[in-house]
Structure 1
Amino acid sequence: MTTGQATSPRGGVRAAVLGALLVLAGLNPAAAAAAPGPGPESACAAGTGPYQRQLEEHLGRPVDGVQSSADCFAVRAFQRENGVSPADGYPGVATYRTMLVVAARPNPNAEGDCPVRSYRVTCVDMDRQLLWVQQGSRIVFPVVPIRTGRDTQETRPGWHEVYWRSKDHKSTLYADSPMPYSQFFDGGQALHGRTGYLYAHGGSAGCVNLTVSDAERLWNLLTEGDAVYVWGTKPGTDD
């Protein structure tokens, strides 16, 4: 004998008829039941953002630079799919930087800006604010977002190598600010994790900042002597 709420024959017939009508209309009954109805969840009211056109183009929306309700829903779906918080539909800097990562994933070195070598090369693309590690043509550390030096404190371009690693480092210049998983590559500039919001204050003081989780994964891959190649110009800094 089973327990639970009984279902009347008439209710079962109504449900079957409704399901059949949805199928005939080309709709998935399960998806229709899960779709948001009227109310706060279905509303998306974020306004036009600073990266409106870039997100519209990436998401296949009409590129007019003005946020519509449909744009907002598309941006919010992208944010949810890629772990951007808050997922509110606003085309801000975190969503734009995530878009650059997603767009670069299939082949971050498509333009050939990072030299291909038989050994590991950590590629720091200041134009797109991205980092990855390649060995030959193989990507051995997937592309992630970064924050390089702000105007007048730019990250130095060119060839470098990791010369010192300090897992729980604290800055001697900036009030003992934490620099977890520091891997120094040039005159005090390091690859390291940044606690808090990665994109704050317009840039670092010259270091290459990653999220702490990305910095930890990079720490577990690299070692002293590994090559680092930096190129490009961080948006908003002088050439």
Structure 2
Amino acid sequence: MGRAFVAGLVVVAALTGCSVQTPEGEGKRRSPVHIELPGGTPSPGRTPGGDDGRPDPAPRPDDDKPRTAPAPAPPRVLWSRGDTGRDVRELQARLRQVAWLFEGPTGTYGEQTEQAVSGFQGKRGLPRTGKTDTVTWQRLLRMTREPGRWDLYLMGGQRADPPDARCLTGRVLCIDKTSRTLRWMVDGRTVSTMAVRFGSRGTPTREGVFSVYWKSRDHVSTLYDSPMPYAMFFSGGQAVHFSADFAARGYAGASHGCVNVRDEAAIAELYAQVRNGDKVVVSW
């Protein structure tokens, strides 16, 4: 056969999708030649699928759905309501530094601590769980300083500890700085107990055994020009008295050395019972 004739057979085969034998390759089949018809329609000789000629797999029903990454695991919870201990006390001391907690530290993770943590979390766009997880704790650490003994214990508050031994006889105003409590005791019996606030680090409340030497119902400080109602003086200018600031702001503030009481009704009753000469014990 002439070359022109062979070339003609190749063209015809290409248009029909068939193979053609040539004298040089007798017995071999050529791979089908594919032609794209107008509009992108494959020629009859084209087999749908990949380059290997196999058909495309049937689409699955969820192939068109968007793929989402699995949700990350929630951060580990360090402390939550009901927990106690030194770590909880530090948490509370740090929350006090950023003005989210005004009570304590008590060392007990109660309702107020849970609310403070929840508020701190919400302010910073964290889930408001009220539980202190690793993310919340790291954020708080970056915003606060390491609390010292003063922050952890002197400004702390909890249920009154057993009274100092010096309070067990006579008529005594038994004041405990650690628990921030004042007990009015008569012959070893506790008549009443109330929360108190003390002086700042720069103006601390003196410790020791004293006695009430002057009572002043409507006293006003000449040094600071501030009211000191129901004042019972026991050491120089330091006295037990009602504090409107303590009643309004709690432990966010401090006195200039006096023992502040925030329950006006309680101190009014105490003032009526205490006499000049009654003992005052201020202990750590």
Coarse TM-score class (shorter-chain normalised): 0.5 to 0.7
CA distance in 2, matches of 1:193, 1:128: 18
| SS across alignment from 2:200 | coil
Q: For the Cα contact (< 8 Å) 2:213–2:277, is it kept in 1? A: yes
Cα distance, 1:181–1:53 mapped onto 2, change above 3 Å: closer
Q: Which has the larger radius of gyration?
A: 2
CA distance in 2, matches of 1:53, 1:125: 14
Number of equivalenced pairs: 147
User: Which residue of structure 2 aligns with residue 221 of structure 1?
Assistant: 273
Cα distance, 1:52–1:198 mapped onto 2, change above 3 Å: closer
Q: Give 1:137 shift.
A: 2.7
CA distance in 2, matches of 1:225, 1:53: 33
1:166 pairs with one of 203, 216, 221: 216
Asked if 1:118 is matched to 2:169, the reply is yes
2:181 pairs with one of 130, 138, 145: 130
| SS across alignment from 2:107 | helix
Deviating 4+ runs (over 6 angstroms): none
Q: For the Cα contact (< 8 Å) 2:117–2:130, is it kept in 1? A: no
The 5 Å alignment of 1:174-213 reads 174=224, 176-196=225-245, 197=248, 199=250, 202-211=253-262, 212-213=264-265
| SS across alignment from 2:272 | helix
Q: Give 1:187 shift.
A: 0.5
Q: Give 1:55 shift.
A: 3.6
CA distance in 2, matches of 1:52, 1:171: 30
CA distance in 2, matches of 1:225, 1:155: 20
- Cα RMSD over matched residues? 3.2
| SS across alignment from 1:128 | coil
CA distance in 2, matches of 1:52, 1:150: 16
Q: For the Cα contact (< 8 Å) 1:198–1:209, is it kept in 2? A: no
CA distance in 1, matches of 2:130, 2:268: 38
Q: Give 1:203 shift.
A: 1.5
CA distance in 2, matches of 1:185, 1:146: 15
Please, what TM-score do these two structures have when normalized by structure 1?
A: 0.53
Q: For the Cα contact (< 8 Å) 1:159–1:228, is it kept in 2? A: yes
What is the letter of the counterpart of residue 191 of structure 1? V
2:283 pairs with one of 209, 228, 231: 231
CA distance in 1, matches of 2:273, 2:105: 36
CA distance in 1, matches of 2:201, 2:185: 28
Please, what TM-score do these two structures have when normalized by structure 2?
A: 0.45
What is the letter of the counterpart of residue 226 of structure 1? D
Tell me: higher relative CO, structure 1 or 2? Use CA pairs within 8 A at least 6 residues apart: 1
Q: For the Cα contact (< 8 Å) 1:146–1:198, is it kept in 2? A: no
CA distance in 1, matches of 2:165, 2:253: 24
Q: Unaligned stretches of 5+ in structure 1?
A: 1-47, 72-95, 233-239
Q: Unaligned stretches of 5+ in structure 2?
A: 1-90, 96-103, 119-127, 132-155
Q: For the Cα contact (< 8 Å) 2:171–2:278, is it kept in 1? A: yes
Cα distance, 1:203–1:219 mapped onto 2, change above 3 Å: same
Percentage identity across paired residues of the two chains: 34
Q: For the Cα contact (< 8 Å) 1:52–1:66, is it kept in 2? A: no
| SS across alignment from 1:156 | coil
